[in-house]
Amino acid sequence: MQWAWRDAVMNAESGRFERIPYELCVLISLREALRRREVYVQGAGRWRDPDEDLPGDFETNRDVHYAALSKPMDSTEFIADLKSRLTAGLDRLNTGLVEGTTGGVKITTRKGKTWVNVPKLEKLPEPKNLTALKAEVQRRWGTIDLLDIVKNTAFITDFPDLFTSVATREMLSKETLSKRLLLVLFALGNMGIRQMAATGEHGHTEAEMRHVRQTEAEQVLRRFIASR
């Protein structure tokens, strides 16, 4: 388990691991292992045994395939070349740090540990196609409230029904629960739950929305955050 997930899977009060978040972390680890080809699925297509990706005559014509990849057949030679290139790269970085030609990259310490500080990149100009798309949307429909888009999407797809509650029972009506869930999703992506509750235009308190987040939205949000 990655330490970054500890707060997500451990109950702060009891110190015990919660089963559902822990299982999600395991599935995420499995997904990453599949992507790295450390784990394969027997009989699968994309996630098949990596050995099946090799040409059928790889063993008999190994020298031909290595030559096509411009790689030495001797593993010691390959490792020595890799080490030399890595060393050369670190030497260039060290020289740049000493001479101040790294573009603002610095090696500092944070909480007693070595930290590489990289300055923020300047904002790139907006792509012309995106500017044109925004202008066309503005011309056709004018200014659209994001919350209205979320609400209409819910009406069309019924995606709030896919959120599974971790509570033992549900006392809220489907209409009330869906409304609070949409408010929570919108608030987490914009102003925050406290500010959303302060508007008072929807008739739901901060405590009610936080309860829905904990019982309905929390598990899906954790999966989304972990996948980014």
For residue range 95-125, what is the model confidence (pLDDT) as tens digits?
998 888 888 888 889 888 889 888 888 888 8
> In the structure, what pLDDT confidence band is assigned to residue 2 with cuts at 50, 70 and 90?
low
Q: Is residue 7 part of a domain?
A: no
Eight-state DSSP code of residue 10: B
Q: Which helix (H) or strand (E) holds 193?
A: helix 193-199
Q: Are residues 20 and 45 in the same domain?
A: yes
Q: Residue 123: inside a domain, yes or no?
A: no
Has residue 1 been placed in a domain? no
As a whole number, mean pLDDT of residues 113-142 equals 85
Does residue 214 or residue 92 have the better pLDDT? Answer: 92
Q: Which residue has the higher pLDDT, 180 or 144?
A: 180
Residue 138 and residue 144: Cα distance in Å, rounded? 8
Mean pLDDT of 173-200: 71
Which amino acid does the sequence have at 220?
V
The reply to whether 168 and 222 lie within a common domain is yes
Does 188 or 89 have the greater pLDDT score?
89
Count of C-beta atoms within a 10 Å radius of residue 88 = 10
The pLDDT tens digits of the residues spanning 29-39 come to 888 888 888 89
How far is the C-alpha of 93 from the C-alpha of 103, rounded, in Å? 11
Element at 164 (helix H, strand E): none
Residue type, 116: V
Read off the pLDDT band of 164 (50, 70, 90): low
Buried b (16+ CB within 10 A) or exposed e, 145-154: eebeebbeeb
Most confident segment among 67-71, 77-81, 180-184, 220-224: 77-81
Domain assignment of residue 19, given as a range? 14-53
pLDDT band at 225 (very low <50, low <70, confident <90, very high): very low
Any idea what DSSP says for residue 222? H
pTM: 0.38
197 and 159: one domain? yes
> Could you tell me if 49 and 72 lie in one domain?
no
Q: At what angle do helices 146-157 and 174-189 cross, to 10 degrees?
A: 140
CA R_g for the chain: 26
Alpha-carbon gap, residue 187 to 194, rounded angstroms: 8
Q: Report the distance separating Cα 28 and Cα 45, nearest Å.
A: 20
Total tally of structural domains belonging to the chain: 3
Write out the H or E segment, with its range, that includes residue 108: strand 106-110
> Has residue 221 got a pLDDT over 60?
no
Quickly state the pLDDT bin for 144 (edges 50, 70, 90). low
